């Protein structure tokens, strides 16, 4: 501990240099002067790193915090890497966007200035925009990279940025590690903060139109929407970027009864009306649900602050509004796409879908029974984007992909999860269900009856700071060294270790996992078809457990009974895993 404190103190003292502004120096002095050194250690024990979602951290002074200097050094490293990798291009260009968070505009302008100071042309959005539109703009404008300043669905104290490559996808190896290596050697004195205005071009509505026109093409049955244009929709952007384009996308598709939560249409990085701006949290949709009850709405939808995640609520068999989880949202979207493509004769036999390894296996069964090729990939939409690129290059057609964390992509002109197109498509599905005398919930029960029921539960155990990081490492080592022989009384028949890229069956037979690289993830599969996944978060100080309890559901009326049995099973999983 003494050595660590000595290291962070030395690092903190470097931030007292005149190259840092007065406010930063004062904040660092305050950390150094406190008797309790926890805050100092957390702020300086490491540098922010690229994870599954890019650069992300709590705002404040320090090498492990989001501020203009960590943003600056990361961007200078990116600029150096771009100039080296694309040195034969006459003009390298990037897109820069940002969300509603505190300091997002400041950080975006900092990023734009640094890129332009390094001779790189910048297309800077004039105001907050959804993450998927940044991906679209990179592809449309033929840029080599891009940055969106956002901390996605994280709490208000966070900010960050998602870094993109020329394909519009978040950066993968070797470029991610290449940039990290470049950043690691940069001193703040080397950052070119003074921008070149001649290389910064402001963009906005012209890209919005192109993006919305492309999204309109995602609609599978426009005539259906014409017949059901007055479907009662309630939507909330949770103070974020969705306000810019999601109501516009719904209108362009033909929906006319769109009701937005007025208090949450106001951009605000403090997110004053929610505890956390995450559509995965039921509390975040409480105001939207209240409005939906007043209006007797058919469907409720919410997007997170950068509008890449979609939350949905619909009416159950009793007419009560219930929330769908991310697995259910992905299942419904993929099921509709497959059913409608088949009905319309649009299937050619070359179609494929993608999900992440921690997402429900019901999707695997939907794909298998409909003879659709399905690919599993790591958590993080950049891995879905990698599969899209590789398989599309072979002449195959991507028709949809999703993950349990409320992300879905229904097209390939964007290479990140997209709540704008997902919202519009989910509204179309609600209209389809209504025209057929159903709700989305009825459709969900049909899927379970046809493909089998599963109940998912995700548990995140927060372990902040340096001590937390060490504890997470120890927990993963323990699970790896002591795999469970049974879970909830069900025998574990298969163990997948993605760090070692090995899987072991119940007979002890070891085979190799075919994945693009190793990842610190463990999975346990039981004889009953249950799946439990364990992984450290790539963007937050958490260790995550994804539990899926599989049970048969012969009849729709058995839903509540089967769900109750599955929830009991999940509680046993938690007990067995000591969480």
Which residues are identified as catalytic? 152
Assign 52 to helix, strand or coil. Answer: coil
* DSSP bridge partners of 497: 502, 522
Q: How far is residue 317's CA from residue 175's CA, in Å, rounded to a whole number?
A: 50
How far apart CA 3 and CA 7 sit, in angstroms, is 6
The strand order across the sheet containing 407-409 reads: 373-377, 351-356, 397-403, 407-409
Q: How far is CA 40 from the centre of its chain?
A: 30
CA distances from 545 to 23, 329, 361, 496 (A): 40, 20, 16, 14
End-to-end CA distance of the chain: 28
The candidate with the shortest Cα–Cα distance to 546, out of 326, 354, 332, 374, is 326
Dist CA 30 CA 80 (whole Å): 34
Pair 542, 557: CB distance under 8 Å: no
- Please, which residues bridge with residue 536 across strands? 543
Identify the residue whose tokens are 């790591």: 378
For residues 171 and 179, is the Cβ–Cβ distance under 8 A? yes
Decide the pairing of beta strands 351-356 and 321-324.
Answer: unpaired
Q: Which are the contacts of 269, defined by CB distance < 8 A and separation ≥ 6?
A: 100, 101, 102, 103, 104, 156, 239
Give CA separation, 39 vs 28, 61, 211, 419, 563, in Å: 10, 11, 43, 36, 44
Distance CA 452, CA 435 (A): 25
Task: State how far the Cα of 114 lies from the Cα of 433, in Å rounded to an integer.
Answer: 50
Query: Whole-angstrom Cα distance, residue 139 to residue 170?
Result: 12
What's the half-sphere exposure (Cβ side, CA atoms, 13 Å) at 207? 26
State the residue for tokens 């005539």.
Answer: 223
């Amino acid at each position: 501990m003494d050595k660590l404190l000595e290291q962070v103190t030395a690092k903190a003292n470097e931030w007292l240099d005149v190259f840092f502004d007065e406010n930063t120096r004062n904040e660092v002095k305050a950390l150094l002067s406190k008797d309790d050194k926890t805050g100092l250690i957390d702020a300086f024990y490491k540098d922010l790193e690229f994870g599954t979602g890019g650069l992300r951290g709590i705002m404040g002074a320090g090498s492990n915090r989001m501020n203009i200097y960590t943003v600056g050094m990361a961007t200078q490293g990116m600029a150096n890497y771009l100039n080296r990798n694309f040195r034969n291009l006459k003009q390298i260009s990037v897109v820069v966007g940002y969300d509603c968070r505190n300091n997002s505009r400041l950080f975006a302008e900092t990023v734009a200035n640094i890129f332009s100071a390094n001779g790189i042309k910048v297309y800077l959005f004039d105001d907050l925009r959804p993450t998927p539109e940044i991906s679209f703009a990179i592809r449309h404008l033929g840029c080599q990279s891009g940055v969106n300043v956002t901390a996605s669905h994280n709490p208000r104290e966070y900010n960050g940025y998602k870094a993109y490559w020329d394909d519009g996808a978040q950066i993968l190896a070797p470029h991610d590690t290449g940039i990290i290596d470049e950043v690691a050697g940069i001193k703040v004195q080397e950052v070119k903060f003074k921008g070149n205005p001649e290389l910064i071009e402001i963009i906005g509505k012209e890209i919005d139109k192109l993006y919305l026109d492309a999204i309109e093409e995602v609609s599978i049955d426009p005539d259906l929407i014409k017949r059901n244009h007055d479907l009662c929709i309630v939507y909330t952007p949770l103070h974020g970027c969705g306000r810019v384009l999601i109501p516009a996308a719904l209108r362009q598709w033909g929906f006319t009864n769109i009701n937005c939560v007025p208090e949450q249409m106001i951009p605000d990085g403090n997110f004053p009306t929610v505890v956390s701006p995450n559509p995965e949290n039921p509390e975040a949709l409480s105001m939207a649900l209240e409005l939906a009850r007043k209006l007797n709405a058919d469907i409720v939808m919410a997007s997170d602050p950068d509008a890449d995640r979609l939350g949905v609520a619909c009416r159950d068999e009793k007419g009560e509004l219930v929330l769908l989880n991310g697995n259910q949202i992905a299942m419904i979207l993929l099921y509709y796409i497959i059913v409608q493509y088949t009905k319309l004769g649009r299937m050619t036999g070359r179609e494929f879908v993608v999900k992440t390894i921690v997402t429900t296996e019901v999707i695997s069964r939907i794909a298998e029974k409909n003879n659709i090729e399905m690919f599993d990939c790591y958590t993080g939409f950049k891995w879905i984007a990698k599969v899209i690129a590789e398989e599309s290059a072979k002449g195959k057609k991507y028709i949809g992909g999703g993950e349990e964390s409320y992300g879905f992509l229904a097209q390939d002109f964007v290479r990140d999860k997209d709540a704008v197109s997902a919202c519009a498509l989910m509204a179309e599905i609600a209209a389809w269900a209504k025209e057929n005398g159903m709700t989305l919930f009825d459709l969900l029960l049909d899927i379970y009856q046809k493909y089998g029921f599963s109940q998912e539960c995700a548990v995140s155990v927060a372990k902040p700071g340096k001590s937390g990081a060490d504890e997470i490492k120890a927990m993963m080592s323990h699970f790896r060294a002591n795999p469970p022989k049974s879970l909830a009384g069900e025998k574990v028949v298969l163990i997948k270790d993605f760090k070692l890229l090995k899987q072991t069956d119940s007979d002890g037979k070891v085979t190799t996992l075919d994945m693009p690289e190793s990842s610190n993830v463990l999975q346990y599969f039981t004889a009953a078809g249950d799946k439990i996944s364990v992984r450290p978060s790539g963007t937050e100080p958490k260790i995550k457990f994804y539990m899926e309890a599989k049970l048969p559901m012969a009849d729709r009326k058995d839903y509540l009974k089967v769900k109750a049995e599955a929830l009991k099973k999940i509680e046993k999983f938690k007990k067995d895993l000591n969480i």
